[in-house]
């Protein structure tokens, strides 16, 4: 039992981090797919608010423990497909996991990252804007274990990828680029 306990605890820590990273990756992919499906700009935000279908805004927060997706109105159109799309939970399912990264990411109508500072965006995100740094990166780690990390990267072309920053991409397919 004494031999198995340390490896069991390591497995639980790894599972928590991977669960949060996969949830974040899936939320980003939903946002990108919605931008394609609706043919309009969509914003993905981290937030601390638990939101439902009647939500009209959420304060974006770079280390939020929930995510939310809003479709932004097209220029000059009054369309019922604006507003809340979907929301999800991240760290409630894995206590002690920390996320750091951009508070908001915007996808254009063809699923690529786009910069946005418009009032329609900041009304939805509580003032957060979308930048287009190359690439947009989220880091996921556990409070008690600084060695075990995961990373979710969104490229300017819209590719969403989860990787392990402790692995070299030239040797491992799940490694992160430098």
With respect to residue 166, please indicate whether it lies within any of the assigned structural domains.
Answer: no
With respect to residue 148, please indicate whether it lies within any of the assigned structural domains.
Answer: no
pTM (whole model) above 0.85: yes
Q: Quick one: CA dihedral 143, 146, 147, 153, positive or negative?
A: positive
Per DSSP, 97 falls in state E
**Is residue 163 within 8 Å of 138, Cβ to Cβ?**
no
* Model confidence pLDDT, tens digit, residues 28-55: 999 999 999 999 999 999 999 888 777 8
Contact partners, residue 92, CB within 8 Å, separation at least 6: 65, 66
Q: Domain range holding 33?
A: 4-133
CATH number at residue 81: 3.55.40
With respect to residue 56, please indicate whether it lies within any of the assigned structural domains.
Answer: yes
* Model confidence pLDDT, tens digit, residues 78-90: 556 678 999 999 8
With respect to residue 8, please indicate whether it lies within any of the assigned structural domains.
Answer: yes
With respect to residue 170, please indicate whether it lies within any of the assigned structural domains.
Answer: no
Mean pLDDT of 90-116: 90
With respect to residue 150, please indicate whether it lies within any of the assigned structural domains.
Answer: no
Strand partners for 168: 176
* Number of separate domains in the chain: 1
């Amino acid at each position: 039992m004494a031999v198995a306990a340390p490896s069991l605890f390591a497995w639980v820590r790894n599972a928590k981090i991977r669960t949060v990273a996969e949830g974040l990756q899936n939320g980003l992919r939903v946002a990108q797919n919605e931008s394609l499906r609706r043919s309009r700009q969509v914003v993905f935000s981290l937030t601390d608010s638990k939101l439902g279908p009647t939500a009209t805004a959420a304060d974006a927060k770079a280390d939020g423990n929930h995510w939310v997706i809003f479709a932004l109105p097209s220029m000059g159109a009054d369309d019922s497909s604006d507003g809340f799309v979907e929301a999800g939970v991240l760290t409630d399912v894995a206590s002690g996991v920390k996320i750091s990264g951009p508070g908001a990411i915007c996808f254009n109508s063809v699923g690529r990252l786009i910069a946005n500072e418009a009032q329609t965006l900041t009304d939805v995100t509580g003032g957060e804007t979308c930048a287009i740094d190359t690439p947009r990166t989220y880091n996921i780690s556990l409070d008690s274990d600084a060695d075990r990390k995961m990373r979710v990267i969104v490229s300017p072309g819209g590719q969403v990828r989860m990787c392990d920053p402790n692995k070299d991409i030239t040797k491992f397919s799940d490694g992160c680029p430098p």
